[in-house]
Amino acid sequence: MSNKPQSALENYVTKRGGDLGQFYRRLEGPLPDHNLIRVASWLIILGFATYFLIPRSPMPIQLTYELDLEKAPSGSLTITLIAEGDLPRHLDLEFPPGVFGNVMNGVHPHSATANELNPDGSRGKSLAVNRTPDGWRLATGGANRAGFIYQVDLNQIQSLDADVRRHISTPVAGGLRVAGFEVFLQPAGLEVNDITVTVYNPENLKVLTPWPALIQNRDRIIKTTPQGTIQQANVSPGQGYLPTEGVPPLNHTDPGKSPSTQPVPENLLFHPRNLADLNNALMICGDLRILSTQVRECVIQLATDHPWEFPLGSALDMVRRIARTEMGFFGSAPTSQITVILSVNQIGGRDRFDIYGVHTGSSILVMMDPKTTWGDLEEQSASVIAHEMFHGWLGEAIPQRDPDMLWFTEGATTWYSARMLTAAGIWTPDHARAVLEARLERDYKLSPLKTQMSVAEAASEVMAGPDQIRFAYAGGVNACLNLDLWLANQSGKVGPLDLVLRHLYENRDGSPLTRLTLEAAILEVTGVDCSVWLDDHVYKKSTLPTAIRLI
């Protein structure tokens, strides 16, 4: 079969584990040797069956999600999903891959209801809803507009649970924090050409979302919610998504102010590019302190729900310096907005890490000790912030989905984050070298796993134990350092891995980073075939000397 895009029917067959080859052999097999009339009759019957029984290839649909924050202070979220367009008779709404299927992850969806929506947005007749292993199925019955409402409760996870993913969506002071991949249902097997997310905020909670607001398009701002209330985005800081009455006019940019002092709107009506963008996101609301600044065309936001022992303005300036340096390395920002959320580390136990960092779309969640000082922030937390921010380029803009490439994504990001902190003046070169040397000595050179598994194998198991994770990260750093040195010797180029990363970013097309694409980029930039080197030093158990030149 050709490599053309699969039809809706083909997607349906493969999604449910069917054999497309067998399907086509059955459908395209030779007709029985009967007379022409019987053959014609069967063709007519087959035509009717095909029309009524085989799913049509529907036109792309539009989705609108509304997050109702009325019960957010008690840890609950109400989500309304409106689907519009050429809807099938049955609409499967599924949770994307993630930890949602684990009943112990603390995120519990329930109380699903659905209605056909009238042209004016009011609720029409009820639609049947049935729970499935992956979400819910709606009997839309050919409606062109359907509304689906469900509840999500967030239960506080026990602090001894060391799976950091289970601490992303959680109650926070005065509200909650949610990851898109844990709360947003998405239609299965349908193409989506437009997504809008609104936030209903009757309690006037401060809210932070990662996507750019649609403040330039006022026709899209005014919407009618399922409750029947006209809503409008309010861009005054800290106000949120409020009723139209009493909303002040939009703030216009003052050309007399520098970009870093411009007022930044609250992003409470936003427009994800696609379903992946929708789910790869983080939102937080509650008793927040939010500061904003700007670097080039990119808005930098810093938020927290905890009173730290350092000035938040100083922390924002540190984040801005990191962002400016990393943008300078690649030449531009990967997104129009970067959000950093500082939160308390809730994960306890003997094998826990002191600081956790999570990169979700354009948002960075950093969980730290509640007693973190300014010195701790500069010397330790800064590396986590720089690391997760660097993933905006290597991991997001240059997508990494193959576990066999985690050694490179994490190893290179760890090395470059130390370099970025040095270039930004946050770390001295001596401190950066000391940090890298200590990590390589403890977690690679002296690791008992060094001769037991390859670096690529260790890194591919993302939720392994702490010792294996440390070995994988340190081994990835060492592999990238040695690869850079080897490529420099082979090609005569200075900083060849820098050139390779910039090449991957400048020529990105949305395709995931694989070993083959990395080897192709290295060959194009340096003229060196590195496949044998990678085989010997990354994908096999042979060891590498710890690198001498670190910064």
Cβ neighbours for 317, distance < 8 A, ≥ 6 positions apart: 293
pLDDT value, residue 245: 32
pLDDT beyond 60 at 550: yes
More confidently predicted of 531 and 247: 531
- Superfamily of segment(s) 288-392: Neutral Protease Domain 2 (1.10.390.10)
pLDDT value, residue 500: 98
Handedness of CA 106, 112, 117, 123 (dihedral sign): negative
Per-residue pLDDT of 413-432, as tens digits, reads 999 999 999 999 999 999 99
Per-residue pLDDT of 474-528, as tens digits, reads 999 999 999 999 999 999 999 999 999 999 999 999 899 999 999 999 999 999 9
- Residue (of 534, 255, 218, 273) closest to 396 by Cα position: 273
pLDDT value, residue 159: 62
Per-residue pLDDT of 54-84, as tens digits, reads 455 568 899 999 889 999 999 999 999 999 9
pLDDT value, residue 271: 77
| pLDDT band of 161, cuts 50, 70, 90 | low
pLDDT value, residue 189: 86
pLDDT value, residue 23: 33
Distance CA 226, CA 20 (A): 41
Q: Domain map of the chain by residue range?
A: 8-53, 58-248+261-284, 288-392, 394-537
Report the DSSP pairing between strands 269-270 and 107-117.
unpaired
Per-residue pLDDT of 539-548, as tens digits, reads 998 888 877 7
pLDDT value, residue 238: 30
pLDDT value, residue 514: 96
Mean pLDDT of 211-216: 44
More confidently predicted of 217 and 378: 378
pLDDT value, residue 28: 34
Per-residue pLDDT of 237-250, as tens digits, reads 232 323 333 333 33
| pLDDT band of 29, cuts 50, 70, 90 | very low
Q: Say if residues 304 and 366 touch (Cβ distance below 8 Å).
A: no
- Residue (of 218, 226, 106, 94) closest to 169 by Cα position: 106
| pLDDT band of 104, cuts 50, 70, 90 | low
Mean pLDDT lowest for which of 183-187, 223-227, 488-492, 546-550?
223-227
| pLDDT band of 200, cuts 50, 70, 90 | confident
Distance CA 439, CA 480 (A): 14
Q: Cα separations (Å) of 52 from 15, 45, 55, 56, 403? A: 21, 11, 8, 9, 42
- Secondary structure (3-state) at 30: coil
pLDDT value, residue 349: 59
pLDDT value, residue 229: 36
pLDDT beyond 60 at 111: yes
Distance CA 511, CA 479 (A): 24
- Mean pLDDT, the chain, rounded, equals 78
Q: Angle at which helices 382-390 and 312-330 pack, to 10 degrees?
A: 40
Q: Cα separations (Å) of 541 from 41, 231, 425, 538? A: 65, 60, 37, 7
User: Can you read off the two tokens belonging to residue 387?
Assistant: 């690391």
More confidently predicted of 472 and 299: 472
Per-residue pLDDT of 325-364, as tens digits, reads 999 999 999 988 899 999 998 776 555 667 888 888 888 9
Q: Angle at which helices 406-423 and 466-491 pack, to 10 degrees?
A: 80
pLDDT value, residue 544: 82
DSSP classification of residue 463:
T
pLDDT value, residue 398: 95
pLDDT value, residue 194: 87
Distance CA 235, CA 246 (A): 12
- pTM value is 0.78
Report the DSSP pairing between strands 90-94 and 135-139.
antiparallel
**What share of the chain in percent tops pLDDT 70?**
73
Q: Say if residues 393 and 326 touch (Cβ distance below 8 Å).
A: yes
- Across the strands, what pairs with 132? 135
User: Can you read off the two tokens belonging to residue 131?
Assistant: 């729970």
User: Can you read off the two tokens belonging to residue 2?
Assistant: 């050709």
- Residue (of 267, 197, 273) closest to 239 by Cα position: 267
pLDDT value, residue 400: 87
Taking the domain 58-248+261-284, which CATH number applies?
2.60.40.3650
pLDDT value, residue 348: 64
Per-residue pLDDT of 249-296, as tens digits, reads 333 233 333 333 333 334 456 778 788 888 888 889 999 998 988 888
